Amino acid sequence: LTRDQRWGYRHRICDTWKKMRTENPAMEWLKLDSATELEDMLIKTQNDFVSQMDLGEGIALNEALRENLFMLLVSIMNQIPILLIGKPGCSKSLAMNVLQSNLNGDVSSKEFFKSMPAVDVVAYQCSPLSTPEAIINAFNSARQSNIGNKRTIVCVLLDEVGLAEESPHLPLKVLHREL
């Protein structure tokens, strides 16, 4: 979404929340009176999580990286498929690498992450030559590598997925079944 669309979305969330609060006083604990308050709360929450991560030397935390890290963390921990879409250089792959290096389960370097499962990534580099079988194999490899291990979440990373759209084999159709 564009910045304006995101602002409008936050505004609608606040309007809906206000209506729900008036109907149910038990929801009074969270005051979202304006889109600005919601944005401030989201940024604070993102910073709270990201501040626990070792980004690596020479990596600057910018808005795109902060948001990508947070959304990936929430989605992976809840095992919700997520598509990160953006122009080259907007921290999509970097965010996944940073998460993978921080989420190591019991052996994580930060106490905060020791209670979380480890994350293992099965990466598949998409191209105009990608086939449905190759993408299915990536998902099968992820399932196989996680048999019996409840403390590890295995993710499939389809890098440069836009390139697979150019394939005459229509490999992305298998995602309907996999996701």
Q: What does the pLDDT look like over 103-141, one tens digit per residue?
A: 999 999 999 999 999 999 999 999 999 999 999 999 999
Q: What does the pLDDT look like over 16-69, one tens digit per residue?
A: 988 888 888 888 888 788 889 999 999 999 999 999 999 999 999 999 999 999
To which H or E segment does residue 152 belong?
Answer: strand 152-159
Cα distance between residue 37 and residue 58, in whole Å: 32
Residue 3: pLDDT band with limits 50, 70, 90 = confident
Chain centre to alpha carbon of residue 101: 15
Chain centre to alpha carbon of residue 25: 33
Please give the model's pTM, rounded to 2 decimal places: 0.84
- pLDDT exceeding 70 applies to what percent of the chain? 100
Is residue 107 a contact partner of residue 116, using CB atoms and an 8 Å limit?
Answer: no
**pLDDT of amino acid 97:** 94
Average pLDDT of the chain to the nearest whole number: 90
Long-range contacts formed by 139-143: CB under 8 A, 24+ apart? 139/178
Cα distance between residue 28 and residue 44, in whole Å: 20
**pLDDT of amino acid 128:** 95
Q: 158: burial class by Cβ within 10 Å (0-12, 13-18, 19+)?
A: buried
